[in-house]
Chains A and B, each alone.
Chain A
């Protein structure tokens, strides 16, 4: 009867295709909106995306968001370095600043300052020039997507940051954030010099545990120091995402949109499948009349749901994946993040949906009076 069930499903090409594409569209909606939402959330974590070396991100313990920090000072850095088990602890600077362009306009950029000797916090990829040249006097690296925004500058060009001279020694590629649609890298000392700050100017202290040392124990030691808190990458990332989700309203509003897409997708798929069974109800009644037990009809419907659900899912997730590939293209402004978890979520959603759709259908089939065959 499995063959019969499948033939009932695919036999009517037009109906079958509209069913499959209905489901595929629903999955596309779920996966695509989901991936954009996740992409935006990921983008909100800004420079966290680019830095993997440290075990611990140390800042004020009350930090809620990476762009909303109470800066630390040199003394804090020495306190952290004196904790046993710390392999290294380096300063990290991130702040918005102005670049004056030759044509008299200006551009707001995110200035990232990294430790001069270790270069920890460096951009993930160099596209032109050498990273080491960052140690030269007044040297800066420009992130590729800022190049056009700064008037197609080249290596050797001079930028003015708050009236201070900065020389471009290379170009790099890094992931952008909300705060950083144009990024300039320099050393920590340069960054401090380029921006008017007070005594406190360190955005983060990046620290690493010695091999064999438990970063959690070191974090606990940092947390015992007054006004210092240590976070793993995951913790600081989650704090930032939570802030965006809850405090800014972006998350909530867009989240509701995504959720609506999700629900619409699910309802459409469930209804589509339910409708399909309704159209076949008479056939099921005939099968019931000629001796097909309810359990057999249930199996047939579940099989149909599974087949059409998986095919619809495959097409939908394929299309959504194609979208995310476009978004992943370097320099694309689209924020798309399509992790395997999203595939699993949309698969589970799809299976749930067709199950609900088929449960509704089943209710009709189970309570079906076979007498309707004579109608």
Chain B
């Protein structure tokens, strides 16, 4: 457990004043219909207050990705309410949703999803360009974001010439350059080796400890089944078969410690930077 953020202290912490960052009530989602329908979410209730690094864990296929897709507004729920910072996604039309995503949410993906024909710097500047920030300002801010993830020296190369860990750092810079209030990460370490994964988690953890533009602590949701990074969480929610299992975070964490590959984080963990 990261010393700065013991899971037990933050578990189901009382929501701060004002609206929670994320509020889910009875969220359901099925893919397909009839007998072949896959019920990916079977009624999920969850409240995430500001300033938490929440981990969603659970076996493959339990609905984690589906859940953060709905939270981040890239997928519509079939039923229930999915609110982010007080706004129910289902009340917005496609265009408004897209704009709101761009303003509020940063994305980090398992397979990085960088555009390989652009340089690292250009990739990071995209979220700003999308919002209409002018090119020079976008470049300056993107350069700063890359420096923040330790890639100040490798800005003008295509992602394909970077290692996996570096690519994920570029992706993190891209996710953070627009100062999102909510950062969602789907299996950010799954394609990385243990040490590199720790380093990437350090960056995500730092993001969770910094404030968003409104002065509120940023909310970070990380989907993972990599128990080696569980200790970064303020809170861990476990999913099974489309539902949340309400077990205390500390129990999940203690269990993870008995999994053989559990690594203790070392302060200088990570790859070349």
**Is B101 interfacial (CB 8 A cutoff)?**
yes
| Contact (Cβ within 8 A) A291 B101 | yes
A373–B107 alpha-carbon span in the complex (Å): 10
* Contact (A11, B107) CB under 8 Å given A4-B126, A374-B65: no
Q: Which residue of B lies closest to A1 (CB)?
A: B129
Produce 1/0 per residue, B108-129, CB < 8 A to A. Answer: 0110010111100010001101
Smallest beta-carbon distance B72→chain A, Å: 8
With a cutoff of 8 Å between Cβ atoms, the chain B residues found around residue A370 in the complex are 74-75, 98, 101
* Contact (A286, B117) CB under 8 Å given A291-B131, A296-B130, A373-B74: no
**Is B152 interfacial (CB 8 A cutoff)?**
no
* Contact (A4, B95) CB under 8 Å given A286-B113, A290-B102: no
Within 8 A of A (CB), among B170-207: 174, 178, 186
Produce 1/0 per residue, A258-295, CB < 8 A to B. Answer: 00000000000000000000000011001111111111
**Is B69 interfacial (CB 8 A cutoff)?**
yes
With a cutoff of 8 Å between Cβ atoms, the chain B residues found around residue A286 in the complex are 107, 109, 113, 115
| Contact (Cβ within 8 A) B74 A289 | yes
Smallest beta-carbon distance A354→chain B, Å: 19
A102–B230 alpha-carbon span in the complex (Å): 104
Within 8 A of A (CB), among B105-163: 106-107, 109-110, 113, 115-118, 122, 126-127, 129-131, 135, 158
**Is B241 interfacial (CB 8 A cutoff)?**
no
Smallest beta-carbon distance B155→chain A, Å: 15
* Contact (A8, B115) CB under 8 Å given A369-B74, A373-B74: yes
**Is A12 interfacial (CB 8 A cutoff)?**
yes
| Contact (Cβ within 8 A) B75 A7 | no
**Is A371 interfacial (CB 8 A cutoff)?**
yes
Q: Which residue of B lies closest to A290 (CB)?
A: B127
**Is A3 interfacial (CB 8 A cutoff)?**
yes
Q: Which listed residue, B74, B95, B115, B130, touches A294 by the CB 8 Å rule? A: B95
A292–B109 alpha-carbon span in the complex (Å): 17
| Contact (Cβ within 8 A) B135 A291 | no
A7–B103 alpha-carbon span in the complex (Å): 24
**Is B99 interfacial (CB 8 A cutoff)?**
yes
**Is B47 interfacial (CB 8 A cutoff)?**
no
With a cutoff of 8 Å between Cβ atoms, the chain B residues found around residue A7 in the complex are 117-118, 122
A370–B72 alpha-carbon span in the complex (Å): 10
| Contact (Cβ within 8 A) A374 B95 | no
Q: Which residue of B lies closest to A12 (CB)?
A: B117
Q: Which listed residue, A11, A283, A291, A374, touches B69 by the CB 8 Å rule? A: A374
Produce 1/0 per residue, A2-34, CB < 8 A to B. Answer: 011001101110000000000000000000000
* Contact (A371, B131) CB under 8 Å given A290-B126, A291-B98: no
**Is B94 interfacial (CB 8 A cutoff)?**
yes
With a cutoff of 8 Å between Cβ atoms, the chain A residues found around residue B117 in the complex are 7-8, 10-12
Smallest beta-carbon distance B75→chain A, Å: 4
| Contact (Cβ within 8 A) A371 B74 | yes
A291–B104 alpha-carbon span in the complex (Å): 9
With a cutoff of 8 Å between Cβ atoms, the chain A residues found around residue B113 in the complex are 282-283, 286, 373
Q: Which listed residue, A4, A10, A291, touches B99 by the CB 8 Å rule? A: A291
| Contact (Cβ within 8 A) A11 B116 | yes
| Contact (Cβ within 8 A) B75 A369 | yes
| Contact (Cβ within 8 A) A289 B101 | yes
Within 8 A of A (CB), among B221-255: none
**Is B256 interfacial (CB 8 A cutoff)?**
no
Smallest beta-carbon distance A371→chain B, Å: 4
With a cutoff of 8 Å between Cβ atoms, the chain A residues found around residue B127 in the complex are 290-291
**Is B1 interfacial (CB 8 A cutoff)?**
no
| Contact (Cβ within 8 A) A374 B130 | no
**Is B12 interfacial (CB 8 A cutoff)?**
no
| Contact (Cβ within 8 A) B130 A292 | yes
With a cutoff of 8 Å between Cβ atoms, the chain B residues found around residue A4 in the complex are 115, 118, 122, 126, 129
With a cutoff of 8 Å between Cβ atoms, the chain A residues found around residue B98 in the complex are 288, 291-294, 370
Smallest beta-carbon distance A353→chain B, Å: 24
| Contact (Cβ within 8 A) A8 B118 | yes
**Is B68 interfacial (CB 8 A cutoff)?**
yes
Given contacts A291-B98, A371-B74, A373-B109, 9 further A-B contacts (CB under 8 A): A1-B129, A4-B129, A289-B107, A290-B174, A290-B178, A291-B101, A292-B98, A293-B98, A294-B98
A-B contact pairs, 13 of them (CB 8 A): A8-B117, A11-B117, A289-B101, A290-B174, A291-B102, A291-B130, A294-B98, A369-B75, A371-B75, A373-B74, A373-B107, A373-B113, A374-B110
